[in-house]
Amino acid sequence: MSLKPTIGIETHIELNTNTKMFCRCAVVDTDEPNISLCPTCIGLPGALPVPNKKAIEFITLLALSTGCEITSKGMFHRKNYFYPDLPKNYQISQFDLPVGLNGELEIVIDENKDYIQIERVHMEEDTGKSSHSGSGRIESATSTALDFNRSGVPLVEIVTKPVISSSKQAVAYIEELRQLSIDLNISEGRLEKGNLRFDANISVAPEDSTELGTKVEIKNMNSLRSLERAIDYEIQRQTKALEDGVEIVQETRHWDENKEVTSTMRSKEGSADYRYFSDPDLPNMFLSDQFIKEVETLMPLLPKAQREELMTTGLSLSQSNILSKSDDWIKKMYVKVFDQTKDSVASYNWITGELQGQMRKANIEVLPEWFNDDYLSEIIELIKSNKISFTSAKIILTEILTTETTPSKVAEQKNLFQENDSEKISEMINQIIKENQDIVDRIKSGEDKLVGFLVGQLMKQSNGSVNPGMAKELLFKELKG
């Protein structure tokens, strides 16, 4: 029996609005608890919610950017459940009238495009944070500390249809969604800060089955790595269970980061009935055509379009994808350097390879202010016109990353300009031949590859300033006629 996994992902993105979703408390990034609170976000008697227009704008932007149909007559619902960090003991969310429905997101895996269908994009408010002492779980905690700074921070939830078939696809989807939220400027997109949080619904069924298997929800995956491992683990666990004839139970499972296993949190039988109903404190929300048009004008160039644009410069899909998911300055630098050099591969390699590699190695997070985009173009041009060698170019880059100077100055100071004058090179070759008569003899008797050794000697003596291609050519001419 051949089995296939089916995965759906629910992602919560914390929006980077200045204030909370239903009150005007500042959204703060601090470990100091309970400093940004008001009657509304801690649920005092008599306090009322008032929607944050910016948050609705952000959610609409995300819905539009994923090609969703916009529900112009949206509605806020109350999702009822008791939990100490949920101040009203209901969460204001959306139910049957979410902001966006039926969208799609293009993802890239290597050189292939894929499309993940989005079921819905909706708004909700975040809860506070609980710290359970003792076991870490509420059921057995001896005490629980509560921080309501996060309570009421706007979240957007994006739910995919059950269309994902591998952990690789899941990771590519989250990477794409993360970049989208950054490019839309609606979130910092920092996974380590919990800006994006995701749960996966996983089932396994026979390859030829038209029905999905029993769904298991996996929670507590805090990184892309844990998403990938948790999905792989769960597919394996369910596959083995089915092969062994063990029934899969519909349940929520917890990913244990250290043990790298999933374990039962709660079974679905005991799950809550959320008793959704429209929030009477929040009259129906009308997203007018005018509002939607205004939001559309805020739409930046989306990652998908960025990739298409990058591919027209000659980059491959995967290269374009990597660039589209890079920091903004990298994207901009590529565009500028390509514009000047018209060499997509060299521009791409120098920026994503050498430059970022050297920065990482030297622990440089931000480019020094003197570092000019033109410098990379200059370096590329110097290589192409044979004025410097690739080795020299790397040395130049190292220098301009740490010292305020220019590539040509470095080349001059360090004597890195290549010798391209064949007469001068020939003079040097004659010297090398004299010094290495035994090698010369062996080359003449057929050991051609030793020419490389002589070129090496030549480079050494000239401090790398000789054009190695020309040197090789001239050596062959000299020795083999």
Query: In this chain, which stretch among 40-48, 181-189, 412-420, 433-441 interacts with another protein, using CB under 8 A?
Result: 40-48
Determine contact, residues 436/454, Cβ cutoff 8 Å.
Answer: yes
Residue 185 is a binding residue for another protein (CB under 8 A): no
User: What are the backbone angles phi and psi of residue 110, rounded to the nearest 5°?
Assistant: 50, -120
Cβ proximity to another protein, 126 vs 419, nearer residue = 126
Over the window 69 to 98, marking each residue x when it contacts another protein by CB under 8 A and - when it does not, the resulting string is ---------x-x-x-x--xxxx--------
Burial of residue 176, with CB atoms counted within 10 A of its CB: 0-12 exposed, 13-18 middle, 19 or more buried: buried
Based on the shown chain and the rule CB under 8 A, indicate whether residue 115 belongs to the binding site for another protein.
no
Between 33 and 300, CB nearer to another protein: 33
Measured from the CB atom, the residue of 277 and 476 that comes closer to another protein is 277
Q: Does 125 bind another protein (CB under 8 A)?
A: no
Closest C-alpha to 225, from 167, 160, 265: 167
| The binder of another protein chosen from 33, 43, 162, 314 (CB under 8 A) | 43
Per rule CB under 8 A, is residue 134 in the interface with another protein? no
Identified binder of another protein from the candidate list 49, 74, 407, 468, rule CB under 8 A: 49
Q: For another protein, which stretch binds (CB under 8 A), given 253-261, 278-286, 419-427, 466-474?
A: 278-286
User: Smallest gap, in angstroms, from Cβ of residue 266 to another protein?
Assistant: 13
Identified binder of another protein from the candidate list 33, 51, 67, 162, rule CB under 8 A: 51
Query: Which C-beta is closer to another protein: that of 89 or that of 463?
Result: 89
Q: Of 26, 50, 345, 362, which one interacts with another protein (CB under 8 A)?
A: 50
Does position 56 interact with another protein (CB under 8 A)? The reply is: no
CA angle 47, 49, 55 (to 5 degrees): 150
Q: How far is the CB of 202 from another protein (least distance, A)?
A: 24
Asked if 433 touches another protein (CB under 8 A), the answer is no
Based on the shown chain and the rule CB under 8 A, indicate whether residue 146 belongs to the binding site for another protein: yes
Q: Does 150 bind another protein (CB under 8 A)?
A: no
Size of the site for another protein (CB under 8 A): 33
Which of residues 277, 329, 370, 476 is near another protein by CB under 8 A? 277
Question: Taking the alpha carbons of 147, 149, 154, 156 in that order, is the dihedral positive or negative?
Answer: negative
**Closer residue to another protein, CB minimum distance, 146 or 367:** 146
**Alpha carbon of 296 to those of 63, 106, 287, 299: distances in Å?**
11, 19, 13, 5
- Residue 225 or 275 with smaller CB distance to another protein: 275
- Indicate which single residue of 2, 46, 244, 288 sits in contact with another protein (rule: CB under 8 A): 46
| Window contacting another protein (CB under 8 A); options: 49-57, 63-71, 220-228, 249-257 | 49-57
Residues 6+ apart with CB under 8 A from 437: none
Which range binds another protein by CB under 8 A, 41-49, 152-160, 183-191, 301-309?
Answer: 41-49
Instruction: Single out the segment in contact with another protein by CB under 8 A; choices: 58-66, 133-141, 395-403, 473-481.
Output: 133-141
283 or 357: CB nearest another protein? 283
Q: Which two tokens stand for residue 107?
A: 């993802």
Is residue 35 part of the contact set for another protein (CB under 8 A)? no
Q: Please report how the helices 167-183 and 53-65 are oriented relative to each other, as an axis angle in degrees rounded to 10.
A: 130
Residues found near another protein in the complex (CB under 8 A): 39, 42-51, 78, 80, 82, 84, 87-90, 138-141, 144, 146, 273, 275-277, 280-283
